[in-house]
Structure formats: structure tokens, C-alpha cells
Amino acid sequence: MQFIQPDINIDFIGKRFIGFSISASLILISLFSLLLHGGPKYGIDFAGGTLIQIKFNTPTTVDTIQDALKPVGITGASIQQYGDATNNEYLVRADIAYKKLEGLSGKVQQALIEAVSETDDTETSSSTTESLETSESAVPTPTTQTVAQEAENSETEKTILPAEVRRIEMVGPQVGKDLREKALLAMFFALLFITIYISGRFEFKWLVSAVMAGGLMIGVYVIKAIGISMPFLIVFALILAMILFWCLRLQYAMGAIAALIHDVTITVGIFSIFDKEFTLPIIAALLTIIGYSLNDTIIVFDRIRENTRKLTRDTFDNVINKSINETLSRTILTSLTTLIVVLTLFLFGGGIIHDFAFAMIIGVLIGTYSSIFVASPILLLWKLK
Amino acid sequence: MKNISPRTVIILLVLFGSLLYVLPSFHIDVWPHKKINLGLDLQGGMHLVLEVEAEKAVESTIERMGNDLRREMKTNHIKFANLERKAFQLHLNVLGRESIDKFNKVLDDEFQEFRIASQKEAGEQLAIVLDLPDSDVEEIKKKAADQALETIRNRIDEFGVSEPDIRRQGNRRILVQLPGVKDPGRAKDLIGKTALLEFKLVDDQHSVEEAIKGKPPLGTEILYQVVENRQTRRMSKSPYLVEKRTTLTGEYLTDARVNIDSQYNEPYVAIKFNKKGARLFERITESNVQRRLAIVLDKKIHSAPVIQERISGGEARITGSFTHEEAHDLAIVLRAGALPAPVHILEERTVGPSLGKDSIRKGIISMVIGGLLVIIFMVIYYQVAGLIADLALALNIILIAAGLAGFQATLTLPGIAGIILTIGMAVDANVLIFERIREELRVGKSPLAAVDAGYNKATLTILDANVTTLIAAVVLFQFGTGPVKGFAVTLSLGVIASLFTALIVSRQIFDSLLINRQLRSLSI
């Protein structure tokens, strides 16, 4: 079986300006959306805050939860249904990190249980009696029941309560800021290490690229100590890196890194358009996208390197075009298999992994596109001079 | 197969070894006994990052030294005024020429630790500010963090959590991981409690009401006793006027146990002082018969019994309407000792066991579905060669599992995602090779030559592509915490495993098919 015919010859290089304009407009849309939303939307990992995931045994409403949380001191929380409507599962997010978190989960649980018990009395009591088999006492109102139960027998507490706190995440603002900086630095460093490897492997410029990357790393560390905001620093460092690539003629590194920045920017932009949150797993996804897209790019580069030696008479344009075409079948196939598994993760992996899989889907698509339309054509920039 | 190549031996050894490591995770007990560790997000549990408020330890040290100084000045009849602590400094005024001389002598003889931050002599009055050298302050802070770590470790050990992970993170942070903890709230209370036990005499001379309205008399403070009625769940708060001076602290405890009061059938905590504590306690009770002695824990009064007689032997009990668990936990924290400084929670992640099970189930479902789809796809697209790739893929997953167990790495939910992703990407190496082989066959080479050329040309490409992914994974590992680290681990293992399976295992299968079985055509 074959999807791509062996003698395929699409003129990718001839159409590179179409590719450039598509990429440019995608990046502009991404930046515009980021600007409109005031930067990326940070989840509690990076912004700090509290997230509580609760599963009720009986149906309840967002308003009930909202009211129940007021006495505990959580106001203005965003409450979302989580998963299927029949699950009765909710996510509560509040911006504040509770310094006095001790006992908060207990209080929240208590407040929510009481709220549920009060609103739908009939339903709750039926479900509580059912689960109350271990209790010796008769069946008074559900509220006192649970209270008495709690005092007597906290071992069985979890199975008897009409609600269960399944997950609590609380991140203090300082930790959030630390993580944000660490994430940015991680991506930046990954890019620099990759630069060294590519320049070394493809152009034998190990030393030049290592000195350049080392200089950038030290520079970022020194300037960081002065206390300049991290995002600006990284953006500036990346622009500087691009200029250095140009001056030092590290063309393969420039192509690859430009493609990676392209991929990450667009993924971040699409996240911003869909109003999705950045959490630690999303950073993991972005780094994987970097790895994946690079994988694709390198395979094309590898073929270009091989073909430049073989086809000495051809123009560089033709060599690149031929290389892309020769690897096209593999590019499509690998993207397909990766897409299959990422899609199953997206569909069956459950809530926590959902956004991760979403980021990966975008990343795989954009990464495949960029290795054909961004990374390789950039190699031609030097020829145009 | 007459002659077995060394490569086959290596493959079989690796396969055998990895099976040994994988089997214990499926409850088949074989030699290495290493199971795959599940992360907190999969088995449920609690992850806490605490920060030690080390400044408080410095403050209380200075406070204590201030008290010593006060006592010393009184015994030497030095006149002074306005002795008070502001942040890390002690401010005071010494009055009169004679007092100033005596004060300087006391300061030189007894309080050499103090650094003189500033002093101003105006007439007969010396205004002096004392503090501690910076190195001492740092030392106190460091000690506070060390001691807090040790204390928390002791408390958790006594609480009984299997395989807790407690370690320093940076200068003042403590990371606590409690897998499978049943009652996170209780564990958190236990860890976070400062557990500073103090005995203070109740001031009977002045009325509490007036003190609340106005200003409490010199040397006294108002503390509250909070009692919760468990039937009505109402809190009642009653104020006490107590002397600021602490007569005795939990430092002198040697033991704390839960006992049940036979009369009321209520649990209480029996405490035992060491020799010095017992002597102090005896002296206090002796000279204060008929007064009330408040037992204060973290600035809250637990009870304030009247001293009936001199108590020798150094035993006392702390009552207060405890549940059995509360009494049990209180005994633990008293035994383990007080935290040198309060701690607060910077980060908390608690996952209930049911959510973890859900995540495992969903993870495995997606792994099976994704894996099957890829396997079917490969067979359809590459036929027999696809089957070989599938074999390599299966081995790949076994290798990842063995790697997780062997290195005792932790499998997290993003880690499962990493494995699933590797399934998709692992076939990439095989796809690269197969496409190359197809190219070579098209040129008209024999199957054997085509396979040989295909592998030779693809090897370098595969190495380059995987090394870069590995770079991203290693950076991720360096940066990551908990779950993300788990992802980096499975991704790296997956990359390495796929190099092995694609370049060595599937190659060997091709070779044995083509050479030993003398196949003339290749179904690819």
C-alpha cells in the first residue's frame, strides 16, 4: 500500500511564499489573540490559586455550589461542570491561594454536603440511606446523620458522604511565578542545546554554536539577576539568537529554530483563541512538540545534506525540493500514526490529559507543516543574497 | 537456525531481563521484586511544599535573649525602660550613669552574642539597639529549616504513612509526598501544627472583661480557649488573662501518650517531663497553689486547671474535649517536638484514590486503542514488514515498563501519555527504514541488499532525529516537578527503547528471515 507515489514531485519551494504568508498570518493571529487576552491564560500552576474537583452522588447546580462556598470564604470562584453531565462532577477554581489551607478541604466538603442535602432533601436522603448501611442509628435528617457519622466513625466517612473531594490543587503565587520562569527557561535552554547539536551535526560548527549558546545562556542568567521580566528577556534573547544565526551563517540551526518558534507561537496562539489554560502538562506538551517537529525537520535536513553531496549539478532549490518530496511519504505516515494515538488520548484519556492531547494535536499538524514550508525554505535565504 | 549470532543473544538477554523486571508489577513475584512506582496522581495521595518561616525563629531567639537580658538587668539592679523587640532588633533605654556602667559590664560578660547596632548617650540616658550578627541570623534560619524537616519527618513516621518522601527543596522549602494517605486533612494538620506547648499562669488579680475593653495590664495577654460542642457544632470562645511569661515549655517533654479518662471516658494526653522539666514543674506548682495554670498550645488555651498541690514526679495531663484521633495526633506532635518556626503551605496537590484509578483506567484504555490502531495500520500499510514493526513496538512497551521498574522511576499520568506518544513515534524509526528499503527495491536491488542499504542509510537519520527528542526530554526532566518529570522519563525511555528495537531487533528479524529462511521476495 502507498499513499504517496514514489515519483511525486510537488513544487514546494516554488510555493514557499504562499507558505510564508500562511505562516505569517497564523503568527499574527496568534499574537493578536494573545494581545487581546492580555497574554496567555495561566492555570493555577503558573498564576497561583486553588482548584478543587468534587464529585457529587446526587445532581446539583452551579448556583448551589456557589452559595455553599460563600461561608467558607471562597467567593468569585469559577465553577464548571467536569466531564459528562450525568457525572455530577465539578471543578471549582479560585484565584486566591489560601494561606490557611489547613482544614479548608474539610470545610468545603462539609459546606457542599450540607448544601446538597438541603436543596434536594428527598433525593439525598434516599441516596444517603442507601449508603448508610454501616450506621447503627435510625435515619434522622441527612445533615445530622453525616455529622454524627463523622464523629463516630471517620474510617467509613468517605464512602458515606454524598460528595467526594477528588482533587485539590493549591499553588501559592510565589511558586506560580517560579514555575513560570522555570518553564520559559526550560524551553529556551532546550532550543539552545538543539542549536548546538544541529549546527554541529549538519555544518560541523560545534565550537561556534556552543560558544554562541553558552554566551546567550550566561547572558540570560546575568540579566535575570538584575530582575528584568522573564518573558521579555526570553523574547529578546531569541531575536538576538536569530540575528547571530544569520551573521554566523548557522543556516540549518536557523531553519530549525525558526520552525520551532513558529510551532510554539502558533500552538500558544490557538490555545489563547480557544481560551484554554496553560498548566504544567501543557509545557510538557510544548516541549514534546519541539522534539517532534524537530524530528520531522531533521529528517528533511538529513536528506538535503545527503542530496547536496549526490546532486552537485542541481541548484540548491531543486535539491531541497527533491529532498522534501522524497521524505514526504515518511513525513505523512509518521504524522498519521502519531496523530492516531494523540487523538485516542484526546478522546479517551480523561479530563486531566485532555488539554495536553489537544496541544499535541495542534503541534503534530503544525510541526509537520513547518518542516516542509518553514524550516527548509529558510535554508534558501542565504542564496538570495 | 544453526548458528546463533551474537546479536540474537543480546536481544534474547534484553528480552529476558526486561520481562524479569516487568513481571513483579503484575503480581508475579520473580527475582528483582521491583514494581513500577505509581505517581501520586495515579495512586492518590498528597504533595505538599511547605515554607519554613525562618524569620520567626530568629525573632523568637531574639525575644528569648531579650527576656534573659531583662532578668539579668533586674538581678543587677540596672534601671532601664522600653525594652522591646522590633523585628530582629532589641531596643532599650538604660537610665542613670551607674546603670549604664553596670549594663555595659553585663553586656560584655554575659551577652557576647549581641551586636550593637547603634547607641546614643544623651546625658544620663543610653538608648541602645542590639541585634545579632548576620552570620548568626543565617545560622539560626538554616537550623530552623533543618530542624523543621527533622520534626516533620518524625511526625509523619509516627503517623504511619507507607513510603513517605520528605526532603529539602532549596533553602527554606520542604517537599512532603504522602502516597495513598487516607485522610489528607488530618495529615496536613499534623504536619503544619507548630505545636508550641507553653504553661502560663492565669492572672487572677485583674478582670478579663476590662482587659479586653482597655489594654491588658503590663506583662499579661489575652488568650482564648476555643471549645467546639460536637453535638451542635457550635464554637464557644472564652477569654483568659494570662501572664506573658512562660513558666515551662514543651522542650522539657520526654513523652506524650493518649490515655482514656476512666471517669468521663474521654481521651486525654498524658505528658512526662524530663528531670529539669520535672523540677521546674514542681517549683511552679509549689509556689502557686490555688492559682490556675493555663496549658497553651500554639497560643490557644487547652485547659486551665487550678493547682491543688505541689506536683512532683513530672507528670501532667492535657485535657480538653478531644476525639480519640485529635488526642492521638496531639500526642504525636508533642512527642516529635515543636517546629522551631511556623510553616505555611506554598503548594498542595491532593488526589483522591478514586480519581487515580479513573486515570489509570482511562490511560490504559487509550493506550490499548491507540496501540491497536497503529498496529493494524502498520500491518495494512507494510504487510509482513508491518508485522515486524509491530513486534518491535510490543517489545518497546515491555522495555519502557522494565525501565520504569528497573530505575525505580515513577509512572505518572503524563507519563502514560508519554508512553502512548512513544507508540506513535516509535513506529517512525521503522517507517523511515521501510521507506528507504522501498526506495532501494524500486531501484532494483535484491531484498537482502535493499534491507542492508535501507538500514545503513536510515541509521544516521534515526539517530539524529532521536537525539534531538532526547535533548528536549532531558531538559524537561531537569525542569520538571512530579508529573512532568514522569513524562520526561517515559519519553526518554521510549526514545532509547525505540532506537534499540528499530535498529537492532527489527534488523535481526529481517536478517534471519532473508538469510536463514532464504526468502526471495520481501512483503513491504
CA distances (Å), origin B399, targets A255, B33, B279, B389, B466? 34, 17, 65, 15, 17
Task: State the Cα–Cα distance between residues B40 and B25, nearest whole angstrom.
Answer: 17
CATH topology (fold) of B197-337: Gyrase A; domain 2 (3.30.1360)
The CATH classification of domain B6-40+353-516, taken from the options 1.20.1640.10, 3.40.225.10, 1.10.10.10, 1.10.340.30: 1.20.1640.10
Judged by a CB distance cut-off of 8 A, whether residue B461 touches chain A is yes
List pLDDT tens digits, range B167-226.
888 888 999 999 888 777 788 888 888 888 888 899 888 888 878 887 788 778 888 888
Residues of chain A with pLDDT under 50: 120-160, 385
* Mean pLDDT within B30-35: 62
Domain boundaries, chain A: 16-44+173-384, 49-171
- Nearest beta carbon to residue A349 from set B351, B417, B431: B417
Task: State the Cα–Cα distance between residues A11 and A328, nearest whole angstrom.
Answer: 12
What are the cell numbers at B430? 521503522
Q: Which residues pair with B80 in a beta bridge?
A: B94
pTM score, whole prediction: 0.79
Amino acid A97: pLDDT: 57
The CATH classification of domain B55-132, taken from the options 3.30.1640.10, 3.30.70.3270, 3.30.70.60, 3.40.50.970: 3.30.70.60
Mean pLDDT computed over every residue of chain B:
85
Q: Which residues pair with B38 in a beta bridge?
A: B411
Amino acid B250: pLDDT: 83
Domain boundaries, chain B: 6-40+353-516, 55-132, 197-337
Residues of chain A positioned with their CB less than 8 A from the CB of B382: 1
Q: What percent of chain B has pLDDT over 70?
A: 95
Amino acid A65: pLDDT: 79
Residues of chain A positioned with their CB less than 8 A from the CB of B459: none
For residue B54, pLDDT beyond 70:
yes
CA distances (Å), origin B270, targets A123, B151, B273, B291, B393? 46, 20, 10, 21, 62
List pLDDT tens digits, range A52-91.
888 887 777 788 777 777 777 777 778 888 877 777 888 8
A16-44+173-384 domain in CATH 3.30.360.10? no
Which residues between 405 and 444 in chain B have a beta carbon less than 8 angstroms from any beta carbon of chain A? 413-414, 416-417, 420-421, 423-425, 427-428, 431-432, 435, 438-439, 442
CATH topology (fold) of A49-171: Alpha-Beta Plaits (3.30.70)
Task: State the Cα–Cα distance between residues B215 and A346, nearest whole angstrom.
Answer: 64
**Residue of B234, B461, B485 to mutate, interface with A, max A Cβ within 10 Å:** B461
Q: What percent of chain A has pLDDT over 90?
A: 25
| Contact yes or no for B465 and A352 at CB 8 A | no
CA distances (Å), origin B224, targets B211, B219, B303? 13, 17, 10
Q: Tell me phi and psi for residue B106, to 5 degrees.
A: -60, -45
What are the cell numbers at B521? 521476495
List pLDDT tens digits, range B86-131.
888 888 888 888 888 888 888 888 888 888 888 888 878 888 898 8
CA distances (Å), origin A208, targets A153, A217, A245, A248, B397? 69, 14, 10, 8, 39
